[in-house]
Every structure is written in structure tokens, then in C-alpha cells.
């Protein structure tokens, strides 16, 4: 019963544009635990005990928060479900510092794809093309892996399955287009029935978890790794890197900067320009640019 309710809950929220990969794993794990205890309804005590078994304070808080949202949903139809309090485990802010890849590191990552073995194979070409496309476009990893062959248009990439179910067209630089065309020629020769653009080693659409594992392996091979215990570079940081490099290329002038930011917001598929600010991170070049402009402004008596 609980398993069916979880499926219904996830389907309802996904229809509103939520992806819910982590909540899906959390809820299914909780339901398996509750079912093993012979429970057919959400019990607050069970939810708190199970959430409390997580290893970190952040995990405990996120587990209980996820279950509480689900419990509120099912309780609306059946008051026998109990909603656990969110105050049991205080929420821990998640403020991961993005890793901004240097141009040299970006090149090393693409070259390190060869460590996957079988040089010249479709497996190597798939990973190389996908990673290069991420650096060239700043797409969300979910958007990249959701691409179908038919989404490649003369004008660029048609991004259909975006956050909040919006559709946008992402133009491609001619070098990115050339690399994608080389991949497409090999991809079509496979003759696979699936329409997915990027396939995993089993011939199915690449999943985010599997792609993340491959990306981390390639980063290690490229020598891009932080000390043990620190946040490791992530595939999502490629999107942060794209946003920062785009800002570094911004023309001078307040009005032109504003126009540039608005264009970047549209390109990245954000609803608000404030969402784009979150992707920006200070880099030496940006700091030099800021220092130069402050110096120029002070040299002109503060005029801008």
C-alpha cells in the first residue's frame, strides 16, 4: 500500500516539474523499512527512528523532511497516516562551493576519457562527446542525458525536458556542432531502436548516477581531485564553470552587463536572473576585472 502511494505521490509532483531523484530513493528505502515492520501507514515514530539512523546531521534532516512532505500528502486522503515533526533534526544548510574547472583542466578531462579503455570505441566517443558538450553549452546533466537524436536541429539543441517543463533552443558553436556530427554518424550506425542520443554501455539511455560515476573516474584519471574528506569536483560544476566563463567574456558597461546577464539567464534555462547569480563564483580573472574597473572609477573621481 505504501509503495503504491509513493508512486502516486512522485507522479503527481513530477507532473509539476520536479525531478525528485533523491526523494524517490529515500521514500522507497523508508517504505521498505516500514513494510518490514508490518506497517501499512506512515508512523511518526518509525519515520524518526529510520531518519535518525543516517550517518550525518544533514542526511537525517533531509530524510525526515522528505518523509514529512509525503506524509502530509497521503494524510489528506487518510488521517491514519502520521506526519513527523520537522523539528526533530534541525535542517543543515547545504552550501557546496562549486569547483570551477580551468581551461587546462577541461581539456585534460576530455582527453582522460581514453582511460575508459577500448580507444576509438563507441564507449569512449560517447563519454567524450557528452562531456565536451557539457563544457560547450552549460546544460544541466539531466537535460543532456534526456536528449533524443531528433532534438538536434539545424539551429541547435532543442531542450524539451527542462526544469519546470519549459522548452528552449540552445545554439551550438561550429566546433561543438562538428564534434556532435562525428558522434551522430557513429551513433546512427549502431541501428539501435531507442531514440536516446547518449547510450550507456548496455545500450540504454545514460542515467545520471551512472554518468556521475564515469565522470568522477575520468576526473581522477585527469589528476583533478581534492584531498580526502573535501567535496570532490562534480559533473554539475561544469555548469557553474560555463556560467563563470560566460561572465568573464562579458563586455564592459553597466547596461551591456545587464543585457549579458539576461541573455545568460535565458540560455541556461533559469526562470529569474537571481538564479543565475547562484552559479557565479569568484575567479582570479573576475577579481582582476573588478579591481581594474574600481581603479578606473576611482581614477575618474568615482564617475562611471
Give SS3 for 197: coil
Q: Which residue, chain included where needed, has cell 577500448? A: 118
The reply to whether 210 and 246 lie within a common domain is: no
Q: Which of 160, 163, 217, 260 is catalytic?
A: 163
192 assigned to some structural domain: yes
Instruction: Report yes or no: 211 and 235 within 8 Å, Cβ to Cβ.
Output: yes
Instruction: Report yes or no: 144 and 130 within 8 Å, Cβ to Cβ.
Output: yes
In the annotation, is 209 catalytic? no
Q: Which of 239, 240, 245, 267 is catalytic?
A: 239
User: What are the residue ranges in the chain where pLDDT is below 70?
Assistant: 92-96, 118-120, 161-165, 229, 248-304
- Confidence (pLDDT) at 104: 93
Cell of 82: 502520521
In the annotation, is 43 catalytic? no
Closest CA to 51 of 23, 75, 11: 23
Q: Which of 236, 240, 245, 267 is catalytic?
A: 236
The reply to whether 150 and 216 lie within a common domain is: yes
- Confidence (pLDDT) at 70: 95
In the annotation, is 195 catalytic? no
85 assigned to some structural domain: no
The reply to whether 251 and 203 lie within a common domain is: no
Q: Which of 140, 187, 240, 245 is catalytic?
A: 140
- Confidence (pLDDT) at 92: 64
The reply to whether 35 and 116 lie within a common domain is: no
The reply to whether 22 and 124 lie within a common domain is: no
231 assigned to some structural domain: no
Segment 147-167, tens digit of pLDDT: 999 999 999 999 886 665 678
Please list the residues that pair with 152 across neighbouring strands.
157
227 assigned to some structural domain: no
The reply to whether 108 and 166 lie within a common domain is: yes
In the annotation, is 108 catalytic? no
Number of domains in the chain: 3
The reply to whether 277 and 216 lie within a common domain is: no
In the annotation, is 166 catalytic? no
- In this prediction the pTM is 0.58
Query: For residue 251, what are the domain limits?
Result: 237-299
243 assigned to some structural domain: yes
Segment 102-134, tens digit of pLDDT: 889 999 998 898 877 766 688 888 999 999 999
Amino acid at each position: 500500500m505504501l509503495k503504491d502511494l509513493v508512486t502516486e505521490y512522485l507522479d503527481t509532483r513530477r507532473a509539476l516539474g520536479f525531478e525528485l531523484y533523491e526523494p524517490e530513493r529515500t521514500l522507497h528505502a523508508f517504505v521498505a523499512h516500514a513494510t518490514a515492520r508490518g506497517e501499512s501507514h506512515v508512523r511518526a515514530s518509525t519515520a524518526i527512528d529510520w531518519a535518525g539512523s543516517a550517518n550525518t546531521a544533514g542526511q537525517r534532516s533531509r530524510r525526515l523532511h522528505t518523509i514529512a512532505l509525503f506524509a502530509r500528502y497521503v494524510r489528506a486522503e487518510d488521517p491514519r497516516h502520521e506526519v513527523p515533526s520537522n523539528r526533530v533534526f534541525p535542517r543543515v544548510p547545504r552550501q557546496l562551493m562549486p569547483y570551477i574547472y580551468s581551461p587546462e583542466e577541461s581539456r585534460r578531462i576530455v582527453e582522460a576519457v581514453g582511460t575508459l579503455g577500448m580507444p576509438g570505441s563507441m564507449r569512449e566517443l560517447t563519454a567524450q562527446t557528452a562531456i565536451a558538450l557539457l563544457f560547450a553549452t552549460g546544460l544541466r546533466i539531466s537535460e543532456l542525458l534526456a536528449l533524443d537524436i531528433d532534438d538536434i536541429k539545424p539551429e541547435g539543441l532543442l531542450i524539451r525536458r527542462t526544469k519546470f517543463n519549459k522548452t528552449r533552443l540552445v545554439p551550438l558553436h561550429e566546433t561543438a556542432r562538428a564534434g556532435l556530427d562525428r558522434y551522430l554518424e557513429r551513433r546512427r550506425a549502431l541501428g539501435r531502436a531507442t531514440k536516446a542520443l547518449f547510450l550507456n554501455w548496455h545500450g540504454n539511455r545514460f542515467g545520471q548516477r551512472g554518468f556521475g560515476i564515469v565522470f568522477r573516474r575520468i576526473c581522477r584519471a585527469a589528476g583533478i581531485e581534492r584531498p580526502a574528506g573535501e567535496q570532490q569536483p562534480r559533473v554539475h560544476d561544469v555548469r557553474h564553470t560555463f556560467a563563470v566563463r560566460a561572465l568573464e567574456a562579458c563586455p564592459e558597461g553597466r547596461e551591456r552587463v545587464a543585457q549579458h546577464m539576461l541573455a545568460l539567464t535565458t540560455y541556461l534555462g533559469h526562470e529569474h536572473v537571481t538564479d543565475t547569480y547562484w552559479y557565479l563564483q569568484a575567479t582570479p580573472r573576475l577579481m582582476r576585472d573588478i579591481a581594474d574597473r574600481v581603479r578606473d572609477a576611482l581614477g575618474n573621481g568615482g564617475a562611471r
